[in-house]
Every structure is written in C-alpha cells, then in structure tokens.
Chains A and B, each alone.
Chain A
C-alpha cells in the first residue's frame, strides 16, 4: 500500500482563449479565481492540484458544484489538457504520451464511470459493456464472455439483450460500472456516479461498489458532492473549493480536524443532531399525560423547528419536559427526556 499509482504535481487548468497569459500572470502575481475572470475573461477550472493515490485506495474528491471536481478527474485520462503541471498514472508521464499510447492507456488501464451514464442508446447492454473491448479490437466471443462476467459482478444477469432505455437509472449506472470494469483496468475514475440516483438505490450501489472494490483491488478516484458518501466509502478524502484542494485526509481527520471554515461548514452539516427537529419527535400536547411532579406551565418553551442539539442544551437546564410551540406561538407538543433520547438514537420517536 505504499506505491503511488496516480501522482499530480502542481496541475492547473485555465479555460479560455487567453489561458497561457492568465497562467503566467497567476504564477507571477498570484491572482485569485475572480481576478483572473475579471482580467482575462478566463475561468480557473483547477488551481495547483497536488496529491497522490496509493494502489488499492479509494480516493474521494468532494466539493460543491463548480469547484472543479469533474475538471480534475478528466485530467487523469487527459480528456482535458492541463495548462500547467505534471500528471503521472501507473508510472507513466501522461503528458508525454503520443496519440496511440494515450489511447492504449485509456483502453487498457483506466476505466471511467460518468454521472450521466453516457451509455450508447443504440446498443444492447451486452454491446455497451463490451464496447471498450471492441475498441481494442477483441473478437466478439471474448467480448461477450467478458461482458457476461462484468454484468454478473454488478448483478445484472438476464438483462444482456435489453437496450439501456429499458433499464432504470440505477441499473443503467450499474451497466456503466460494468463497462468500466470490462477492460479490467487498474485505475477507476468515477465522476459522481451515484449522484443522480435516489438515496436508497445510492446506498445499495455504494455497498455493492465497496464490496467489488475490496475484491478487485482497483485504485479508484471517486468524485462526489456528498460528504456522507465520501465518508462512507473513501479511504482518504480531498476537499476542493474554487479549483483548489483545501484539505486531504482520512474521514476522521476531516470531521474532527477541519482545516478551515469551508470544511468546517461541511462537517457541521453532517451531524445528525442538526438534521432532526422538534416537531418530528414531539408528542401532541393533547395526548401527553404529565408524570408526577411535572407541571407544563413551568416548562421551558421553544419553537417547533429547534434541532436536537439545541433541545439537549435546553433539557440539561431543567427537570420539566419541554413544551413546543408552533410558529404562531401556540403550545402544540411536548418532549420529555425519553422522547428526546429516542429521537437522538433513531431520528424519530
């Protein structure tokens, strides 16, 4: 686990006609993203990205929309040419490869899964999965054999002869994954593969993917804008903002030790205690039977959209149950210690 499969060193990408000028200016004067946009009309896609990914690792890249995640991952198989910096994959300098070598690298060693599946609508599932092999010039028998194996891996046996449009979104994404696995690449690039799916299917596919990845020992760069997902499946996480990587670390590092306010915002957002509110766990005030010694008139009162974190703060200062008021200020519900504890445990009473 110590050999680096992917190495990026100071990679920049600036979009626009005057990218080179802008690059020079950035290196001399250290302009920020808005300044570059102002002065040169160029968009900074990624700025000074440096990191490496070890063999067998799942490396998550996390960031808001527009932070440059897709741009970054497309550099790894050179779908996008960097403006500056060096990129090394599997010991090869990607930027030095000629057309033929680059195609071979893509066809043999780097698989990719896309956010919007990008399957070929006029081909069956089998032919979609076999496409990378066809590109390599493998005969039909080999293609069919391999695509069958890959479809089995993602639990899609029986759908070989269907067309993509006959499949649900989750199934299509599994076809995309099978296609990426078909050429048996050492490196997998996954650009928000599960973002377009509903939470249940997403969780299912995450589990499936983690099991597969443990079994097949691929090196994976996994893009997501969802910190929960990154924490679930990443060995390490890189957090991007405005094209820059602001922190790289294990999930624990990130959550317990956020590098700056931006990361802290993310990490805060992830706490369950901030996601569940009083009105979803309270008992109706009309149904509530005060226990002995309880007097609701003495209870502290708080609005219905108080979160669990806050409720705990309130509960520690009183022995009375907490009365919940609606937005008009009317008493509508009650939370006592046991409902609160249950709420923290399961998010629901």
Chain B
C-alpha cells in the first residue's frame, strides 16, 4: 500500500474502501469513486438505503442518517395513518352534536313559554334556537368536509413517503462516503455492517413509531400515552421532607448564618456611612474628580451629568443605597474571589473540582437560590448582598485563574532561577502578569453585581431595585422608566471609571 497521501492511486483507494465497507465493496468503490470525481452533488443511487431507510443507516453506523429519516418517515406515516383511520371530523362532529342538543333545549323552552302565554319570551328563544341551528349546520358541514379531506391527506402522506425514500436513496452514498473520510482520520469509526447497531436501531424504531403514530392518528388516545402516570405522589412528600431539612439547618447552624449576616452588615454599614451619610456635594465631587483622574475629562463630564440626573429626580439617596449594596457585594466578591482564583490558577486539580460549582453558581437562575437564602438568612439587605455575591463571584475567580495559568512557564522559571521565594514569585511575576485578566474579571463581576440589584430587591434589599419592583407591581411606567435609567447611569459611570483605570494600568505596564 502506497499510503504517502500524495499519490492516491485508484488501487489504494479501492482497497481502503473495501476495508471500510466490508460488504459490497465493489459497488461502494465505484460509487465512492463517482462521488469523489464530482465537485457538485453526485447522483448516486442506493436501493437498499431507499427501501430500509433508517435501518440501513443504523446497520452502517450512520446515526445522523438514522435519526433524520426516522423523523421524516414518521411524519409521512402519520399523514398516511390520519388519512386511513384518523377520525378527522371528530371535533367538529362533537360540536355539531352539542349544538343540536342546545337547539332542542331552546325549542323545548320556547314551547313551554308559549304554553305559559309569554309570546315575546318564546320568540326570543326561537331566535336563539335558529342561530344555534345555523352554527350546528356549519359544524356539520365542516365535519363532512374534514372527513372528505381524508383521501387528500392520505395521498399527501404517500407522496411524502415516496419523496423521503427517494432522498434516502440519493443521499445514502454521499453520506456514507463522508463517513468513510471520517474513518480514514479516526479509525474508531464503525466499519462494515454491525448487527448490534441494526438491532438497536430497530429497537428505537419500534419504541418510537407505533406510539407516536397512535398518539397523532387516534382522536382520543388513551391517557397513559398523553400523560405521565405518576402525579404528585412523590413530589409532595419530598418537598415536605426538604422543608423540614431547611428548618433543621436553619436552627442548627443559626449562629453561623447570623455571623455571616453580621459580617455583611458591617461592610454595608461602612459603605452606607460613606455614600449616604456624607454630604451629597462631597460625594459628588469625589466621584467626578475620581472619574477625571482615572478616565479623563469626557468620563468626568458624563459622570457629572449622570449624578445630576440622580439628584434632580430625587433618586440620590436611593441610588447611593444601591451603590452601597453593590459596593459591599463587589468588595466581598473580590476579597474572596481573587485569592480563590489565584489558588485555583496554581492548583489545577482544585480548579477541576471547583469548576462545576462555578458553573452551577452562574447557570442556576437567581430566583432558585433566593429560596435557601431566605430560609437561612431571612430577608433584607445582607441576604440580598449574599445572593448578589453568589451570582457575581464566578467571573473574577475564573478570569484570575485564567490569568495565573497564562503566565508563561519560562518567565516563572527565570524568576526561580534568580532565587525567588514563592511569595516573591507571586507578587513580582505571577500577579503582575495576570493583571489584565484579573482586571477584566473585576469589571465583569462589578457589572454583574449591578444587574443583580433588581433581583435582590425581591427579598427586601431595597435601593433602586425596590423602586423598579414597585413600578412593576403597579404598572407605573413613568416611575419604572426613571428608576431604570438611574440604574443604567450608575452602571455606566462605574463601568467607565473601571475601564479607564484598566486602560491606565495596562497602557503603562
């Protein structure tokens, strides 16, 4: 075999195709040669594939082929089934019967009224009966029309089936040739015929087709098919048991939860003193000057305008409360997230264990973990901060770890070669080189904190989120809009300042 890759003579191709298809190798060699000789679509017909459809795919290990045509054939078969034995006009028929009943009832009523001498009432009832009769007639016509459509549907189904079969016949070899190319690169791809595969395919087919056909062609399928037979038998006791578990934990570890709450509250109180209790002109001035120093005059002007907006609409205090919430959450995120990220960056094994937890923290909808938080920490600001931390911590951990792992081995080695201790290595080499990535993580975490503020207000965290929540409850569009803009401005000011800082940092170093 001359397998240089340069000279693929027809001979070597043949023998390897034979190795791949095992059965019928002459047929496939010619067909593959035909396909490979064409640049566009090659018309190559495979009768077996057309007849057996998905099962041929299963036998040859083409599972994409199997599933695609399983679904397409099923669709055609459902149409055929509906045409043959489906009760097409059934719903209209039922309506007609119901309406007829109503008509009879009204007529009876009219008769009774007439006997009582209430001519007007009788007329009205007859009128209604007449209208109902018209509707009933319509329904009957529709039912008749529907059942006469059965033939059309049957024909459409048959035509569809033929079309699907034709596509199968023409697509099979093209698909199989692609599989052959995959096999050349990855020898674990199935070769030849596999009867276990075919058996598995048949099993799937037998499981899927009859039930689905039954469901879509019979007008009133058995409840067993449409609904899962188990109702709330398991759900309720489990929910109760969990509830008990939460209660037990809340009592048993009450002190731990209280301690966490107290710690968060301490941070929060400190920030609130700085932001809310400090006279507003001082806070404003500090923010604008910070923006100027870190991010330049344009951001400073923008910040001044945003702050003016907050003040003018009386949202100053509530905004500062929001920023304090955000600040506390962000501070705690960074306080724990960066060291964790550094540790994970240096210990890949710890990181692999932590990864699912981080994924969980990020993908779990916030509403879900609000429940245990309320159970253990109650409502108010500290639980709100905690929920925010859970939501916003992963990015800074991830990006810090990423940054640490991206520090070139060679640079670290050089530092060690000059006699660095591990601490010197960390502070002089690893953290500075990981800084751009860490800064990105910090920025993302802070913005995620801000987006969590509205949700945290659900458990009574207050701030602008509470205003928005209130506006949602009373459909107060104006109020909601103003508060929403306030959140947007807070986010933009913070983001711009951090970005400016980041640019200064990375621009210099």
A131 engages B416 (CB within 8 Å): no
A106 engages B413 (CB within 8 Å): no
A136 within 8 A of B: yes
Q: Chain A residues near B414 (CB, 8 Å)?
A: 112, 114, 118-119
A121 within 8 A of B: yes
Contact with B along A110-147 (1 / 0, CB 8 A): 11101010111110000000011011100000000000
Q: Chain B residues near A114 (CB, 8 Å)?
A: 410, 413-414
Assuming the A-B contacts A131-B428, A135-B424, are A120 and B418 also in contact, with contact meaning beta carbons closer than 8 angstroms in the complex?
no
Within the complex, the shortest CB–CB distance from A213 to chain B, in Å, comes to 19
A60 within 8 A of B: no
Interface residues of B in 403-424 (CB under 8 A from A): 408, 410-411, 413-421, 424
A325 within 8 A of B: no
A135 engages B419 (CB within 8 Å): yes
B429 within 8 A of A: yes
- B418 is contacted by which of A107, A116, A121, A163 (Cβ under 8 Å)? A107
A134–B428 Cα gap in the complex (Å)? 10
A105–B414 Cα gap in the complex (Å)? 14
Interface residues of A in 66-115 (CB under 8 A from B): 77, 79, 103-108, 110-112, 114
> Number of A residues whose C-beta is below 8 Å from B?
26
B432 within 8 A of A: yes
- A132 is contacted by which of B410, B413, B418, B435 (Cβ under 8 Å)? B418
A341–B429 Cα gap in the complex (Å)? 57
Chain A: CB-nearest residue to B414: A118
A183 within 8 A of B: yes
Chain A: CB-nearest residue to B413: A79
- B421 is contacted by which of A79, A103, A108, A163 (Cβ under 8 Å)? A103
- B429 is contacted by which of A111, A116, A120 (Cβ under 8 Å)? A120
B413 engages A118 (CB within 8 Å): yes
Assuming the A-B contacts A131-B428, A135-B424, are A120 and B417 also in contact, with contact meaning beta carbons closer than 8 angstroms in the complex?
no
A77–B417 Cα gap in the complex (Å)? 7
Q: Chain A residues near B415 (CB, 8 Å)?
A: 120, 131, 135
Assuming the A-B contacts A118-B408, A122-B509, A135-B424, are A112 and B433 also in contact, with contact meaning beta carbons closer than 8 angstroms in the complex?
no
Q: Chain B residues near A122 (CB, 8 Å)?
A: 432-433, 435, 509
Q: Chain B residues near A79 (CB, 8 Å)?
A: 413, 416-417
Chain B: CB-nearest residue to A109: B419
Chain A: CB-nearest residue to B420: A135
Q: Chain A residues near B433 (CB, 8 Å)?
A: 120-122
Within the complex, the shortest CB–CB distance from A162 to chain B, in Å, comes to 13
Q: Chain B residues near A119 (CB, 8 Å)?
A: 411, 414
- A136 is contacted by which of B413, B416, B419 (Cβ under 8 Å)? B419
A105–B417 Cα gap in the complex (Å)? 10
B413 engages A103 (CB within 8 Å): no
Interface residues of B in 378-435 (CB under 8 A from A): 408, 410-411, 413-421, 424, 428-429, 432-433, 435
Secondary structure type dominating chain B contacts = helix
A119–B433 Cα gap in the complex (Å)? 11
- Interface centre among B418, B421, B432, by most A CB within 10 Å? B418
Assuming the A-B contacts A116-B410, A120-B428, are A135 and B418 also in contact, with contact meaning beta carbons closer than 8 angstroms in the complex?
yes
Chain A: CB-nearest residue to B425: A135
How many inter-chain residue pairs (CB < 8 Å) link A and B? 61
Chain A: CB-nearest residue to B422: A99
Q: Chain B residues near A104 (CB, 8 Å)?
A: 419
Within the complex, the shortest CB–CB distance from B467 to chain A, in Å, comes to 44
Q: Chain B residues near A103 (CB, 8 Å)?
A: 419-421
- A131 is contacted by which of B410, B413, B418, B421 (Cβ under 8 Å)? B418
A107 engages B410 (CB within 8 Å): no
A132–B429 Cα gap in the complex (Å)? 13
Chain A: CB-nearest residue to B505: A122
A242–B349 Cα gap in the complex (Å)? 33
- Interface centre among A103, A132, A134, A135, by most B CB within 10 Å? A135
Q: Chain A residues near B421 (CB, 8 Å)?
A: 103, 135
Chain B: CB-nearest residue to A183: B418
A106 engages B417 (CB within 8 Å): yes
Q: Chain A residues near B416 (CB, 8 Å)?
A: 79, 106
Q: Chain B residues near A106 (CB, 8 Å)?
A: 416-419
Chain B: CB-nearest residue to A103: B419
Interface residues of B in 192-223 (CB under 8 A from A): none
A136–B420 Cα gap in the complex (Å)? 8
A111–B432 Cα gap in the complex (Å)? 23
Q: Chain B residues near A112 (CB, 8 Å)?
A: 414, 417-418
A183–B408 Cα gap in the complex (Å)? 23
A121–B424 Cα gap in the complex (Å)? 16
Q: Chain B residues near A110 (CB, 8 Å)?
A: 417
A83–B420 Cα gap in the complex (Å)? 24
Q: Chain B residues near A163 (CB, 8 Å)?
A: 509
Within the complex, the shortest CB–CB distance from A30 to chain B, in Å, comes to 32
A135–B416 Cα gap in the complex (Å)? 10
Q: Chain B residues near A111 (CB, 8 Å)?
A: 418
Contact with A along B8-24 (1 / 0, CB 8 A): 00000000000000000
A163–B415 Cα gap in the complex (Å)? 17
Chain B: CB-nearest residue to A107: B419
A132–B416 Cα gap in the complex (Å)? 10
Within the complex, the shortest CB–CB distance from A97 to chain B, in Å, comes to 12
- Interface centre among A103, A118, A132, by most B CB within 10 Å? A118
Q: Chain A residues near B435 (CB, 8 Å)?
A: 122
Within the complex, the shortest CB–CB distance from B209 to chain A, in Å, comes to 50
A118 engages B410 (CB within 8 Å): yes
Chain A: CB-nearest residue to B411: A118
- A121 is contacted by which of B410, B420, B428, B509 (Cβ under 8 Å)? B509
Q: Chain A residues near B420 (CB, 8 Å)?
A: 103, 135
Interface residues of B in 286-300 (CB under 8 A from A): none
Q: Chain B residues near A179 (CB, 8 Å)?
A: 418
- B432 is contacted by which of A77, A105, A120 (Cβ under 8 Å)? A120
Chain A: CB-nearest residue to B408: A118
Within the complex, the shortest CB–CB distance from B54 to chain A, in Å, comes to 44
Within the complex, the shortest CB–CB distance from B409 to chain A, in Å, comes to 9
Within the complex, the shortest CB–CB distance from B293 to chain A, in Å, comes to 21
Q: Chain B residues near A134 (CB, 8 Å)?
A: 428
Q: Chain B residues near A121 (CB, 8 Å)?
A: 433, 509
6 nearest A-B residue pairs (beta carbon): A107-B419, A118-B414, A122-B509, A106-B419, A132-B418, A103-B419
Beyond A77-B417, A122-B432, 16 extra complex contacts between A and B, CB < 8 Å: A103-B419, A103-B421, A105-B419, A106-B419, A107-B419, A108-B419, A114-B413, A114-B414, A118-B410, A120-B415, A120-B429, A120-B433, A132-B419, A135-B415, A135-B424, A179-B418
Q: 8 A-B Cβ contacts within 8 A?
A: A79-B417, A103-B419, A106-B418, A107-B419, A112-B418, A114-B413, A120-B411, A120-B429
Interface set of A (CB-CB < 8 Å, partner B): 77, 79, 103-108, 110-112, 114, 116, 118-122, 131-132, 134-136, 163, 179, 183
